[in-house]
Structure 1
């Protein structure tokens, strides 16, 4: 069995707003919202989704909170907030600062300004408009193997 994580789906309250945040604000490539022909009804979730294929092949998907909860068969409150953080690996300290600035300009919020951590990274946190927590980080001694 292969153990590859190839997709991460974020539950969002406003798909258009989140698409603008990640595509127009952070510069991630997406063809836009697809699957709009699959409309939610009483028994089936809708299919509208925005996808971003990242440089390493990972797919970041944005999906309506309501549709994700319905698709997974769970309560809506289970797909809110941010019990995890996701990470951007940056090529320099300046890139970390730039990512955080982009996030704010796109409608996100700085959660923790960047600092040098004792374990050798320069990093700061931001939240997207739905509160998903992201860490932008630069490894001062190179990315660990």
Structure 2
């Protein structure tokens, strides 16, 4: 079977404390799907998020002893409304997120805010009125002209 090349099936985040990281994501209301040998997986819509100890992740990447940071990456969840963004932001802070920027109107015409999880991974919560979500919450970008 041939699959589309433009897809992500798994996002792995290196964490310092698996128990703490798992508790944070559970605090967001996420349900763990599997936990095996120092890794915890959460089933997402059409993909999965894995939490993996940083040292073990470096070793798995063939970079044993490397100090892994969070990199210049932002993970994002889009929502149907500004109110939904505000609610999700408040829930993230209640679960232990560190605020970076409270949700506000932004230059591109939408509304967004940022926080970090306990391991410093940056999340954006956004409402983009130009990218409506389907009923199941999935995003399909408009076709290029």
Q: TM-score range by the shorter chain?
A: 0.7 to 0.9
Deviation at 1:142, TM superposition (A): 3.9
Q: Is 1:76 the equivalent of 2:66?
A: yes
Deviation at 1:111, TM superposition (A): 0.4
Matches within 5 A, 1:53-132: 53-55=43-45, 57-74=46-63, 75-77=65-67, 79-132=68-121
Contact 1:85 1:133 in 2 (8 A): yes
Q: Is 1:29 the equivalent of 2:31?
A: yes
Structure 1: gaps spanning 5 or more residues: 37-47
Distance 1:82 1:105, change over 3 A: farther
Contact 2:33 2:43 in 1 (8 A): no
Q: Which residue of 1 aligns with 2:124?
A: 135
Q: Which residue of 1 aligns with 2:18?
A: 15
Aligned residues: 130
Structure 2: gaps spanning 5 or more residues: 133-140
Query: What TM-score, normalized to structure 2?
Result: 0.82
Query: What TM-score, normalized to structure 1?
Result: 0.82
> 1: CA distance between counterparts of 2:115 and 2:71?
11
**1:65-115 superposed Cα distances (whole Å, 9 cap, x missing partner):** 0100011122432x2234210001112111111111111111111101111
- CA RMSD in angstroms comes to 1.6
